[in-house]
Amino acid sequence: MILGALISYPQAIVLGLLQGVSELFPVSSLGHSVILPKLFGWNIHQNDKYFLTFLVATHLATAIVLFCFFFRDWVRIIRGIGRSLRDRGIDPDDADAKLGWLLVVGTIPAGILGLLLEHSLRKVFASPTSAAIFLTLNGLLLYGAELLRRRAPVADAEDDARIGRTVTWRGAFFVGAAQAIALIPGFSRSGATIGGGLVVGLSHKDAARYAFLLATPIIAAAAILKLPELFGPDGDGVRGQALVGAICSAATAYLAVRFLMRFFETQTLRPFAIYCFAAGLACTIYFVAT
């Protein structure tokens, strides 16, 4: 049997649609990509090279959607960083420059930890049972973030200014490092960063916006580094499925980020905490029993 036969086009559609939603919803895309094939009886393992290659395309699609959705923000942020480099300092009134460097500080720990730990953590915690257990714990993490959240600032300024005024350099490092927990299947990148944003004092809406901006370069860089694998031997037989999965992932990622930015204007992480705890616990019991 050729490798490509292990991912059918219907499976690619389902996995792509799931990736776009679960990467941005605080419910762990990696955890769901480990659990779902087991529930459906698919012969797909999270550490199979062809499956990792397939996921590269779906992750890259998600990153592109995030960049396009926040394109105007990124233009302002990049210009702000450019001004700070030109002036050799950050003007106290330059909210875009401050936000840009906060994102840089937050990206550094996540990038380093990802390079050092990704392979070993995926190898150790790749089973559906462990992913289900960590999904349960992800629910507790989200609920804990709600309990620990600080009072958000009054919405009397633009988004960039409000985030820049609230998040300290230490806080940016903390929120960025929190992303690394998503290397363990079952824990959510967006959940950890939104939760971290709440802990350092952001509102739910600002925490979500900051989390999505922070996730964009990390997801994109990780996908681009592995993109040659898609065009190498590991991509033989799965490139068509990867393209279909990427298109589906892009569609649901756009819908997800659009929904969440409105959702967090008035809502909290609690519904996602309840879902992760209940779904993770149910899957854990099922996998152990069977």
CA distances from 203 to 106, 141, 145, 242 (A): 18, 17, 12, 36
pLDDT value of residue 157? 58
Q: Could you tell me how many helices (H) and strands (E) the chain has, helices first?
A: 12, 0
The string of DSSP codes covering 154-203 is: PS-S-HHHHHHHH--HHHHHHHHHHGGGGGSTTS-HHHHHHHHHHHTT--
Residue 2, pLDDT score:
41
Most confident range, picked from 75-89, 117-131, 147-161: 75-89
Distance of CA 277 to the CA centre of its chain: 19
Of 197, 253, 193, 265, which Cα lies nearest the Cα of 65? 253
Kindly list the distances between the CA atom of residue 273 and the CA atoms of 8, 71, 111, 187, 280, in Å, as whole numbers in the listed order: 32, 30, 26, 11, 10
pLDDT of residue 5: 52
What integer pLDDT is reported at residue 181 of this predicted model? 86
Mean per-residue pLDDT for 58-80?
A: 94
Q: Which of 143, 116, 125, 107 is nearest to 45 (CA)?
A: 125
Please tell me the number of Cα atoms within 13 Å of 23 on its side-chain side: 33
Which of the four pLDDT bands, split at 50, 70 and 90, describes residue 194?
A: very high
Tell me if 1 sits within 8 A of 250, measured CB to CB.
no
pLDDT at residue 4 greater than cutoff 70 = no
CA distance 159 to 156: 9
Exposed, middle or buried, 122 (CB in 10 Å: 0-12/13-18/19+)? middle
Kindly state the tokens that stand for 12.
């690619």
Tokens describing residue 125: 């915690």
Provide the 3-class DSSP secondary structure of residue 27. coil
